[in-house]
Structure 1
């Protein structure tokens, strides 16, 4: 765009000639320019991709364009390139380039913030723009000594009042300014441009057809602008500064209205909006388009373009470079103490992680000769807010470390934050929770658990809650999507009430043989189809009755057909009366049939008695009315239509409910995700407790609504869960296939076995109690369908940490749905139930009694270890999800990570060494103590990697060990050799065809070394392997 500042471009002859070409040529773009134009687009896209991370200002690009234009006037080789640019019509720039630029700005606007600020945007972009345009026109006509008329003055004002949203937003990035203010400036610029185009086109239309608008309106502004001109000194007026003064005056006039709508308004926002309203590309394009007007003098065009160019250069050089400084002076980018605390805590967490990583790497034998001081200097993380103990008090950053010494007992009493500090921290935590919820929704979308529409609704709802102070997102905010209380439900109920009368009772057939046959006939599908065909055949005579020429031609035939159909209708009614007896009159459709039959009989009677009386004229009119009553017979077709409408409405309602179920389930998963992050969101115990309570209440409300939906529409929940499960299984299978393909393990493994369990199918009704808190477990239950509520004390996992600290039992409440396992840990540890389980819906479970479980343990000792492994994987997955290092992992990825894990059983006071073969160590039951640091860990938790030896402190202690990658590879290789050695031998023998599978003998050689997984499992595995070998060796 800087090319158009060159002197050659504003040369009158060149402008006039190019204007004539574009004005009278039906095509805006010449035939040889499309390739050149698309080349510019391609270069622009290429440079945008390459330089997207570089900070290059628009001002520098503008000066590059100016230099290119100047070179085109002096260097012949550049002239050919610049001449094509000069031939581009400004109308083409407005219609082709401008929409793309404006779309980029509009695309980044948040819809919820825009709709809340739409009143402010409308005030600034329409009344504010027109006010700025009018004031600029007054200055141009009455203050400047240019002898401009009012039309040209308003044209100049419309051009000067337009702002460039792209430059305005680009200058405000990374300044710390509120998003609301940035959106207000960007939206005002976008709508200003649209208003500017409309006003310029209107002025051009009025200037082409000159009329006395002032005389027609009976008003004039001569006196007012004359008085205004007396107060303004034209000699001391600086060109270019008038645009800012006019804009400032317009904002001041509209400020009382702006302060009462949207997000509010103050003088700081007003000053920033005035200064950030920069003129740029769009202003130049409109100015260039004004050159196409032939009735405007060339001198006036040059003066107008000179003013426009001066204002554009001033705003690009001065305003764009001083926006950040102005924001600092006005205090618009001040960082609150809560944000500083959040950033400081994040930086400290990263530094602690780096310290732990360096401590582990320094013990690596391969990195012993590394330059560790250089590594530490390279890993230094600076705080972006430059928060230190000097500019922020330590009590604000670490309020938990503040203590006051009691003068009486000389004990340190912890300082509690003030109510205002609690309110500020609560608001900051609320924003973090909403951001975490958005992250959870996007992850569910990427994992296939949410559709695109559901994700968009949940994300938009969370963004709407972010702008409301103190507002948390709850199930009521999305309740409109699962509540089936709309016009579809009402219409369906009315149609069903008309089609199927609720008062209809089942009528037993009569004992009379003939009546029993009639009853069977009336309730058959053939009879119903016959009535439909009868109604359809009667439709054609009805149409002919209302076509006068055909009616007069076939009057006798139509009368005969009318009598015939009436007899059939009477016969149908008689058969239904004999079959239904008193219940016949209770059905709405039968009432319509009775009315049709009565009107038909009345019509026949009147038609036969009409010739006997002299009142023929009146009877003819009555007959015509009864002829219209015949149309009611066509309403019998609506019975088929209504049934189809009911089907369509039911489908729409189910689709809406399915969508609401999906949203509610996504909301519940988001609440569970946020609940695991509360410790990272807030380090204040009082804030964390409040957040836990709020999240738990919202989660329980959502789970209750989810259960009610499953109770009322079980097939709906099944379909949604099936669809999600299918997608998840397919995706998991693809990921597994990729892993197997990359590792070379895609060969089919033989010898798979199916395990059978002794189970009973148990059904519980709504309100039934499955088990009570404190009673001993009687078995394990797997929920197949339905919803149960768990309420009681918080699970202790083999320790009494809360009781030791004097806190007592913490109340616990939760909901469980299909696929959940109940009572597994209690059966394994022989501990009483800690919760009471009641049914919220009809529940179906698979039950395994504890006696059958104990018998299975005796017969298959490895089964107990497998159950502990299943419990450990479930507990470890939830525990790892809470750790910040695994929060970006999906649940399936975490399960894949711990798939090779095994459970180790520790007796009380037994020690366990942690070596380099262990990647992660999760305490799933009991408690342990770090032998070096004397720190006690309670289940469930992750044992830090800095620990080298732990000691069990509980009667039952279970730890889940995730081996390192090298150890996993050794185990996999060993297991493959054990499991597939015989299979390879059988395959080789079958390929050679020497002998069949049953004649192969295997030598009892078992010298293969298998890494220790568990003593009991290894021994059991050896027994099974040896047993299989002996059995196979003796098979003939």
Structure 2
């Protein structure tokens, strides 16, 4: 038995790398180009264009590199005595450039100039340089006396100009740290994800594990508590490191498909469809692809909003349909602790989670096909009323389709960014341009519920393979109210009720969605 706390302590990333990354990340944020709004005055607008040109930044770095040489000479006593006049004049020229650079940035950025730490750092160095020149010209200090504390301090401040190069190398350092940490974070993510999946699998076979109802209750309480804690930890990890989550999900899906291919080859060989030698060659190709996955790039950037829409099944990568959705959809950001909606609220639309973690909670039993809770008629324990959804998940689909109040509340556990599609806009698409979109949405919901219900009915071995075989021939059927319908025939293996309630015409039993209708029910 392992708890989420044990896993977290075992796979926790190194504190030193995390600290260095945090410091470097703050530097990168402080050095990002915040262009702001150009001024309406011609001179200030020209300054804005000059400052935010790449050439201006590169010239600044080049001048700093050139300034390193006289700074080094000033610290070597006999060379400083020989080239004293040249070093002093070069200091004036470089200082003049830094002053001009600061003035141009102030003119271009105005108040925003003083909000960036790097700009303030450069301004302090330039101000000390001006003070240095004033002290030299007024002969308040003499650089011929190397032991004077003021002279040493001024030389040190001059040397701080070299630190401006950190602005150039910080992103590269951050990439190196991220690469070092990505393996550890990926390991952390994979273990927690596997733990969550393992606990979910235990829920499906809990009746086979324990025959005593008391033991079931104890196991259920422990499994649900641990799964909730692990899901919360997984959500925080995805929020802090979205690129790691995207990478691991991509690798996971690739491995699932490769394992599926391997099982298909095994089945075809056992049935004599392909020759043993051909099967061996195909398996070699599959293993080569698996090795490529191990060397897969360590970090993949999270998809943009436009890219996310192309991965929604009921939009089917249709450019016209996606463009129609984008006409009135908008991005909404919620702070940590805010409610997106509450149980009993009228549905306003569909929420696609771009980033963050949302807690779904239901105060009382009800139908929730979006999350497909465990059916109380089939199991000897109560419904699960709490769940967590992460980036890429969609909430509110079923309630928009049936136009009924929300069956659960949604609370943000982190800062959450969502892509909101209004219900009225969806209905407009259903009625006018894209009537098939509604059927595809029902199919997507049905597949999610069917996968869980069939998983409860299958043996544990080769779940993914058997599920794919069964779910590849799924279709949605809409049955009107008070209509007698024949459901099982020679072509049907499973019937899953995804919405509503039905009555068995022979045994007069009532089944409520989500429910796997038994094969003994024919009408």
Q: TM > 0.5 between the two?
A: yes
The structural deviation recorded for 1:487 is 3.2
CA distance in 2, matches of 1:661, 1:837: 24
- CA–CA separation in structure 2 for the residues paired with 1:540 and 1:827: 69
* 1:155-212: CA deviation from partner (whole Å, max 9, x where unpaired): xxxxxxxxxxxxxxxxxxxxxxxxxxxxxxxxxxxxxxxxxxxxxxxxxxxxxxxxxx
Contact 1:495–1:642 (8 Å) recurs in 2: no
Pick closer, same or farther for the CA change 1:818–1:922 going to 2, 3 Å: farther
Distance 1:844 1:663, change over 3 A: farther
Residue 533 of structure 1 is matched in structure 2 by: 62
Please name the residue that 1:789 is paired with. 359
1:486 matched residue in structure 2: 15
Q: Greater relative contact order (Cα 8 A, min sep 6): structure 1 or 2?
A: 2
1:192-271 correspondence runs (5 A):
none
Per-residue CA deviations over 1:892-941 (Å, capped at 9, x if unaligned) read 540332322456677869585866x3573344354565969x98876655
Aligned CA distance change for structure 1 residues 935 and 493 (closer, same or farther; 3 Å): closer
Aligned match of 1:588: 121
Q: Distance in 1 between matches of 2:487 and 2:57?
A: 82
Sort the Cα spacing of 1:848 and 1:820 in 2 relative to 1 into closer, same or farther, 3 A.
Answer: farther
Rounded to whole Å, the distance in 2 between the matches of 1:671 and 1:477 is 14
Aligned counterpart for 2:200 among listed residues 665, 672, 675:
672
**Alpha-carbon deviation of 1:851?**
4.5
Aligned to 2:419: 844
The separation in 2 between residues aligned to 1:731 and 1:491, in whole angstroms, is 39
Q: Deviations over 1:247-267 (max 9, x none)?
A: xxxxxxxxxxxxxxxxxxxxx
What SS does the corresponding residue of 1:950 show, helix, strand or coil?
A: coil
CA contact (8 A) 1:481 1:660 kept: yes
The 1-side partners of 2:478 and 2:472 are apart by 18
2:232 counterpart of 1:704: yes
Q: Is the 8 A contact 2:74 2:87 kept in 1?
A: no
Deviation at 1:791, TM superposition (A): 2.2
Which residue does 1:873 correspond to in 2?
447
Matched ranges for 1:270-669 at <5 A: 434=1, 465=2, 473-474=3-4, 477-478=7-8, 486-491=15-20, 494=23, 526-543=55-72, 551=78, 555-556=81-82, 558-575=83-100, 578-579=103-104, 580=106, 587-596=120-129, 598-599=131-132, 602=135, 620=145, 622=147, 626=151, 630=155, 633-641=158-166, 643-645=168-170, 647-649=172-174, 652-653=177-178, 655=182, 660-669=188-197
State how many pairs are aligned.
Answer: 446
Q: Which runs of 5+ in 2 are unaligned?
A: 275-315
Higher helix share goes to which structure?
Answer: 1
Contact 1:535/1:634 (<8 A) preserved: no
Residues 767-786 of structure 1: per-residue CA shift (max 9 Å, x gap): 343463375x677x373534
Distance 1:528 1:804 in 2: 68
For residues 641 and 881 of structure 1, do their structure 2 counterparts lie closer, same or farther at Cα, with a shift above 3 Å needed? same
User: For the structure 1 residues 491 and 642, does the alpha-carbon distance in structure 2 shift closer, same or farther, using more than 3 Å as the test?
Assistant: farther
Cα distance change of structure 1 residues 788 and 513 upon mapping to structure 2, 3 Å threshold? closer
Which residue of the partner structure matches residue 772 of structure 1? 343
Contact 2:497–2:517, Cα closer than 8 Å, also in 1: no
From the CA coordinates, give the structure whose radius of gyration is larger: 1
1:924 aligned residue: 497
Residues 782, 845 of structure 1: 8 Å contact kept: yes
C-alpha separation in 2, matches of 1:739 and 1:476: 39
Q: 1:847 to 1:480 in 2, by over 3 A?
A: farther
Tell whether the 8 Å contact from 1:501 to 1:587 is kept in structure 2 after alignment. Answer: no
TM-score (norm 2): 0.62
Give the whole-Å Cα distance in 1 for the aligned partners of 2:483 and 2:46: 86
What is the match of residue 329 of structure 2? 761
- Is the Cα contact below 8 Å between 1:492 and 1:650 reproduced in 2? no
Cα distance in 2, alignment partners of residues 498 and 921 from structure 1: 58
Deviations 1:631-651 (Å, cap 9, x if unpaired)?
654442232235424542366
CA distance in 1, matches of 2:142, 2:398: 92
Shift of 1:478: 1.2
* Counterparts in 2 of 1:693 and 1:847: CA distance versus 1, 3 Å: farther
Question: Distance between the aligned counterparts of 1:867 and 1:577, measured in 2?
Answer: 56
What is the CA distance between 1:545 and its match in structure 2? Answer: 5.8
Distance 2:404 2:37 in 1: 59
- SS of structure 1 residue aligned to 2:385: strand
- C-alpha separation between the residues in 1 aligned to 2:376 and 2:253? 41
Summarize the Cα distance change of 1:847–1:816 in structure 2 as closer, same or farther, 3 Å threshold.
farther
CA contact (8 A) 1:879 1:942 kept: yes
Aligned-residue CA RMSD in angstroms? 5.6
Q: Distance in 1 between matches of 2:29 and 2:377?
A: 66
Matched, 1:812 2:388: no
Q: Deviations over 1:497-548 (max 9, x none)?
A: 789879xx99999999888877876676555544443443343455556667
Gap change, CA 1:736 and 1:771, over 3 Å in 2: farther
Structure 1 position 687, deviation (Å) = 2.6
Q: Unaligned stretches of 5+ in structure 1? A: 1-433, 435-464, 466-472, 611-618, 745-752, 953-1036
Residues 929 and 506 of structure 1: is their aligned pair in 2 closer, same or farther, counting only changes over 3 Å?
closer
- Structure-1-length-normalised TM-score: 0.35
> 1:788-833: CA deviations, max 9, x gaps?
43322344589xx99999x999562223345555555566667654
Q: CA deviation at 1:562?
A: 0.7
Q: CA deviation at 1:845?
A: 4.5
Question: CA contact under 8 A between 1:880 and 1:942: conserved in structure 2?
Answer: yes
Q: Look up the SS of the partner of 2:462 in the other structure.
A: coil
Change (3 A) 1:880 1:857: farther
Q: Do 1:778 and 1:827's aligned partners in 2 also have CA atoms closer than 8 Å? A: yes
